[in-house]
Structure 1
């Protein structure tokens, strides 16, 4: 485990799509955090140095989440994505998913404060 990790990751298997400009790929989410996601690298994936839009629907619902991400790493058939922007509805649902899986609201609140501080210091919104 990476001791430098600041955000708790939860296992979350769900189908998703990645979009970059006019390119779109189907993928599967491996895990999620407030700060991004780990997904399977789609077949024929070619990354241009522009943001990737990650979209997925919560299983057994019609609730769709979207986040604009940056590719952090591409190795061993997986893509590490860092959240660059997420809308209010999506972050609310993501927060609830993580809260239910962590079972520790105080840990989640600390991570949310860290996420806000990190985005404030880098000039991004999330």
Structure 2
């Protein structure tokens, strides 16, 4: 039976390098396929179980600067082409960069602010201390 996935955050195509450190294995500079305020899809990484947690670094590069966004992730889906992580424990600077990436890649840049404000009102924001 196929479970329908209901997304609460806008997801945008976004390819960048990601490093993940699980308790038993690390992956350096793998590739993402898409990104949201609370999640990321990673291409070519399998063999993990839903619920496993890892340290995550998204590597952004452009011009003369290299920025790494640091957070925690939990596996929420595993498929033949890769896995999806729920992102949490994001520091404020990383969250700000993440929000700007998503806003820049949406047709309606204000949509990401609307989603975040809705989550603030309903108490369903990213758990920054999880």
Alignment TM-score, normalising by the size of structure 1 = 0.80
Q: Which sections of structure 2, spanning at least 5 residues, go unmatched?
A: none
Count of residue pairs the alignment pairs up: 121
SS, match of residue 110 in structure 1: helix
Q: Which sections of structure 1, spanning at least 5 residues, go unmatched?
A: none
How far is 1:103 from its partner? 4.2
* CA RMSD across the alignment: 2.4
Name the structure 1 match of 2:100.
96
Residue 112 in 1 paired to residue 116 in 2? yes
1:35, 1:115 within 8 Å by CA — same for their partners in 2? no
1:39, 1:79 within 8 Å by CA — same for their partners in 2? yes
Instruction: Determine the C-alpha separation between the residues in 1 that align with 2:36 and 2:58.
Output: 14
1:41, 1:74 within 8 Å by CA — same for their partners in 2? no
Residue 34 in 1 paired to residue 40 in 2? no
Alignment TM-score, normalising by the size of structure 2 = 0.78
Instruction: Determine the C-alpha separation between the residues in 2 that align with 1:94 and 1:4.
Output: 21
